[in-house]
Amino acid sequence: MDQIVDDRASVAGEVTPGQARLLDAMPELADCHYPEVRDAIPASNYTDPTRYEAELKAVWKGVPVIAAPSALLPEAKSYHQVTIAGMPVLLTRNKAGVAKAFANVCRHRGMKLCTSDKTEKAPRIVCPYHAWTYDLDGKLIGLPRSETFPGLPKSELGLLELPSREAGGLIWVGLDPEKSYDFSTVDGELAEDLSALGLDRAWLYDHASFPVKANWKLVMDSMLDSYHVTRLHKDSLAQFSVDSENQIDRIGSHIRNAAHRANFERKLITRRHDELRWIMVFSYIGFPNGIIVVSPHYTSLGVVRPISVDECVVDYYLLAHDKPTTERAEDRLKRSLELMTQVFAEEDYWAAAMCHAGLASGTLKEVQIGGMEVQIRMFQDAVTDCLERQ
């Protein structure tokens, strides 16, 4: 086995205690038992505009949300912008290499400072409207014709900073600048797990954004069941997958999952992720908007951003375990990106949109949940918990 592993991406991470518990509970494929569960979720959870508005306040502005992977800002003195639940967010990595988040709004007239969809590399940001200039710590450092603003308190007109934390290879942001956020929910065990998987040292191969005509929770649901994998993905992922008795637990509101690959055997279980990823799949739901799925040569990260009750955007990032150094490795990542674009955009996100169209008809009062979809209930309960705490 060592000889085979030499040709594989090296992550060098050892499993964490939480990951080890799931591994130790995984049965042989022949011994899998599929839970018998009968459950239902109100259809209005996905289509009710009033509930959606409550979710914006209780979930999207109530808890830290994922803005992007750390790999999107790989170097000091870089920045990137993204809009999350109506908040224009500017992510920066200052000259010391520290990631920060600000409202992407100039303090002069409210212009969006950064309008590019790409990561920019520069030590300062210049407003495209009147050229007010800020450093990557948010400080206002210059403006043209400053004499026309007598007594302007520059020190008080820095960018509005948003609470943020970089942990486990992800940048988490609190969208309400007036609120104090509990970032211990994303530090600790979750960050330890994601770092063991190599997310904190991953290399971003490529990324793309996909608009989806569906409620944001339907996109999350599409990644929360193992029931659809060999069916919806029959022409794509099914070749690598098998119906599995998933091992599932929670880290606070986040969900951790371990699933079999078709070649799984208990005797092949080790404590090294660069070996495990060939026989099983670790996946995570980073509550409320992160979808993390580990593959042999890369990790898929989906970051969901709501637009309206019936529309969202998914930012998909293909995070390689190593920067490719050979043409073969480069070609493998290219083909992986093509596959995952098909799997997510043309299959999962398509299914979410078709589900929303069906639910919006008012035909159903509730959606049915079975034993291979229990994670949907876990996720929906976490959303409801946020609403009830308001």
Cα distances from 388 to residues 39, 47, 55, 169, 367, in angstroms, run 21, 19, 10, 30, 22
DSSP for 291-348? EEEE-SSEEEEEEEEEEETTEEEEEEEEEESS---SHHHHHHHHHHHHHHHIIIIIII
The parts of the chain modelled with pLDDT lower than 70 are 1-12, 237-238
For residue 360, with 0-12 CB atoms within 10 Å meaning exposed, 13-18 middle and 19 or more buried, which class applies? middle
CB 170 within 8 A of CB 153: no
CB 319 within 8 A of CB 335: no
CATH assignment, 2-60+186-389: 3.90.380.10
pLDDT at 30: 94
pLDDT tens track for 234-271: 777 667 777 889 999 999 999 999 999 999 999 999 99
| Cα–Cα distance for residue pair 285/215, rounded to 1 Å | 17
pLDDT at 7: 39
pLDDT at 11: 47
| Cα–Cα distance for residue pair 74/370, rounded to 1 Å | 42
| Cα–Cα distance for residue pair 294/278, rounded to 1 Å | 10
* Mean pLDDT, rounded, of the chain: 93
Question: pTM for the full model?
Answer: 0.94
Domain boundaries defined on the chain:
2-60+186-389, 68-181
Count CA atoms closer than 13 A to 64's CA, side-chain side: 25
Side chain identity, residue 125? I
CATH assignment, 68-181: 2.102.10.10
Is the fold of 2-60+186-389 the same as that of 68-181? no
For residue 118, with 0-12 CB atoms within 10 Å meaning exposed, 13-18 middle and 19 or more buried, which class applies? exposed
